[in-house]
Amino acid sequence: MSIAAPSPFAAVVIGGGISGLACAYRLQQAGIPARVLEAGARPGGLIATKEKDGFQFELGPQSFLSNEPLLQLIESLGLNEQLQHADRRAPRYILSGGKLVRAPLAPQSLLTTPLLGATTKWKIFTEMTKHTVPPDGDESVAGFVRRKFGDELLEKFVAPFVSGVYAGDPEKLSLRASFPKLYEFEKEYGSVMKGAMKSRDTKGKPRAGLCSFRGGMETLPRAIAGRLGELLLTESSVNSLQRGKANGKPWFEIEFTRGNHREMIAANAVIVATPTDAAGGMLRQLSGEFPGAFARIEYAPVAVVSAGYRREQVQHPVSGFGFLVPRSEKLRVLGTVWNSSLFAGRCPDGKVSFTSFAGGATDPGLLDLKDEEIVELICGEVAGVLGISGAPAIARVQRYARALPQYNLGHSGNVAALSGLAASVPGLFLAGNYLSGPSIGACVEQANLTADAARVYLASIGATGAGAVAHA
């Protein structure tokens, strides 16, 4: 293999998931064309849509909560007409004693739900009258809930919710890192309930809505990739990342393999938007501290099981969002989304489609099973909950050994250490779902901030256009 001469760019983004794509697009909008290197065959990372036999399945995120940066991105891409909005009133359920019980999503519903006993309801009701102070050190989600409300709320509501968001273990997840608003409510008001009420009263903003696209979630990364055009290179694996100087100004040299050729890129700024394991190895040459710092961020494995049925096979009305499963129910499924109830066009007429999740931080061994074993196990458990007779008309499993970063105890310190290491290398920036939230909206918001920081840096050294290194 021969190495082509270096091609100069002001910025290079390594990683073509939603964080990397959003970074590159933000830079493009600011007049800075950024080369994007994606190791996979397609952009989008875990955001992937699969269509077969009239069914549309999401292999990763099933939907997204709208926030302002994400909605602005969608509008700029001309995707507003493709947006689908789920019914805000769509109920969510929690499995309790083998039966589905409507989840209490509003503070007042916690006082009436059959999920909780009188003692727990009294603790919730009186929480506003008891001023508490969060501990100085990092506290787990489980420790926080036990301290404030007791074990029952943790087991019946919080733990399954944590599984649905992070596929995580509440005994390990950091409250401050994973649910910072709860920490801030107690710190500022001494009461979570009081903080929630005051926050809702003062902000006056509409609640985030649950959304998708008519063509599926992959519509978003495809649209960004279309805007980036030839700037985006897939099947391009970075071999090395080194730092040097050109005409007295710092720059980077990236060697990558594309097809059977090794190529070089020179850049004034590099944004690393890969998962942490890849980032650690890639940045080793810049600082020997990067691999260890990245390795401290754990990931949860997840199996995504998609299934479709004839409507008459399913006894339950399956009208709503879906259900979550507490570990006390002794099932291995973490939860199930009723896709065809949330968004139109997910399956043929007379059919229904579901997506279930299993594994996670509390059951990593599930991914040791074969695909057919996972499908049989999880579809069987869901069938028991929803009263499904017969085998699914279609079923598939997508497994992720490293699905979601875990915001475990010490996560804030880990992120601060990584930020400090990156800051010690001028022109190096980090982006990804391990920094400020795993949701698509959080990734886009963080990607915007990262791109803006890179733009400011490039302006400070007089390198903002294509081929900036060559002219530095």
Residue 138 has pLDDT above 80, yes or no: yes
What pLDDT score does 259 carry?
86
Residues 111, 55, single domain; the answer is no
What pLDDT score does 1 carry?
45
Q: Count of domains in the chain?
A: 3
Residues 140, 237, single domain; the answer is no
What pLDDT score does 135 carry?
94
> Which distant-in-sequence residues (6+ apart) come within 8 Å of 456 by Cβ?
none
pLDDT band at 107 (very low <50, low <70, confident <90, very high): confident
Residue 10 has pLDDT above 90, yes or no: yes
What pLDDT score does 373 carry?
98
Residue 472 has pLDDT above 70, yes or no: no
Residues 422, 371, single domain; the answer is no
Contact 246, 462 (CB under 8 A): no
Residues 337, 379, single domain; the answer is yes
pTM of the model as a whole: 0.93
Residues 351, 223, single domain; the answer is no
Residue 144 has pLDDT above 60, yes or no: yes
Structure tokens of 273?
Answer: 């938007």
Nearest residue to 48 via CA among 27, 71, 19, 17: 17
Residues 324, 348, single domain; the answer is yes
Residue 369 has pLDDT above 90, yes or no: yes
**Which of 154, 177, 203 marks a domain boundary?**
203
Nearest residue to 232 via CA among 468, 13, 430, 3: 13
Please indicate, yes or no, if residue 397 is contained in any of the structural domains.
yes
**Which of 405, 422, 437 marks a domain boundary?**
405
Tell me 367's DSSP state.
Answer: G
Please indicate, yes or no, if residue 377 is contained in any of the structural domains.
yes
Residue 471 has pLDDT above 50, yes or no: no
Please indicate, yes or no, if residue 148 is contained in any of the structural domains.
yes
DSSP per-residue string spanning 64-85:
EE--HHHHHHHHHTT-GGGEEE
What pLDDT score does 246 carry?
62
- CA 343, CA 212: separation in Å to the nearest integer? 8
Nearest residue to 67 via CA among 322, 353, 349, 440: 440
Residues 79, 136, single domain; the answer is no
**Which of 382, 405, 428 marks a domain boundary?**
405
110: enclosing H helix or E strand: none
Three-state secondary structure call for residue 363: coil
For 196, counting Cβ atoms within 10 Å of its Cβ (0-12 exposed, 13-18 middle, 19+ buried), the class is: middle
Tell me 290's DSSP state.
Answer: H
DSSP per-residue string spanning 139-152:
-BHHHHHHHHT-HH
- CATH classification at residue 334: 3.90.660.20
Please indicate, yes or no, if residue 97 is contained in any of the structural domains.
no
Give the helix ranges, DSSP H, for 156-275. Answer: 159-166, 175-178, 180-189, 192-203, 219-228
In order of 9, 121, 148, 159, 178, the CA distances from 143 in angstroms are 48, 18, 9, 12, 13
Please indicate, yes or no, if residue 98 is contained in any of the structural domains.
no
CA 136 to chain centre: 28
70 sits in the region (left: phi over 0; alpha: psi -120 to 50; else beta) called: alpha
Structure tokens of 403?
Answer: 């699905």
Residue 140 has pLDDT above 60, yes or no: yes
- Residues 217-228 have a mean pLDDT of 98
pLDDT band at 329 (very low <50, low <70, confident <90, very high): very high
Residues 81, 26, single domain; the answer is no
> Which distant-in-sequence residues (6+ apart) come within 8 Å of 342 by Cβ?
63, 86, 87, 90, 210, 212, 321
Percent of the chain at pLDDT exceeding 90: 88
What pLDDT score does 169 carry?
97
**Mean pLDDT of the residues in the chain:** 93
pLDDT tens digits for 397-445? 999 999 999 999 999 999 999 999 999 999 999 999 999 999 999 999 9
- CATH classification at residue 226: 3.50.50.60
- CA 36, CA 464: separation in Å to the nearest integer? 16
Percent of the chain at pLDDT exceeding 70: 94
pLDDT band at 192 (very low <50, low <70, confident <90, very high): very high
- CATH classification at residue 140: 1.10.3110.10
Residue 469 has pLDDT above 90, yes or no: no
Residue 232 belongs to domain spanning? 7-46+218-297+408-471
98 sits in the region (left: phi over 0; alpha: psi -120 to 50; else beta) called: left
What pLDDT score does 467 carry?
53
DSSP per-residue string spanning 373-429:
HHHHHHHHHHHHHHTB-S--SEEEEEEEEEEEE--BTTHHHHHHHHHHHHHTSTTEE
* Lowest-confidence region among 242-246, 283-287, 347-351, 352-356: 242-246
Please indicate, yes or no, if residue 208 is contained in any of the structural domains.
no
Residues 348, 224, single domain; the answer is no
Please indicate, yes or no, if residue 210 is contained in any of the structural domains.
no
* Cα torsion through 240, 420, 416, 361, rounded to 10: 10
Residue 466 has pLDDT above 60, yes or no: no
Residue 470 has pLDDT above 60, yes or no: no
Residues 369, 291, single domain; the answer is no
What pLDDT score does 206 carry?
56
Residues 237, 278, single domain; the answer is yes
Residues 400, 310, single domain; the answer is yes
Contact 131, 191 (CB under 8 A): yes
Please indicate, yes or no, if residue 54 is contained in any of the structural domains.
yes
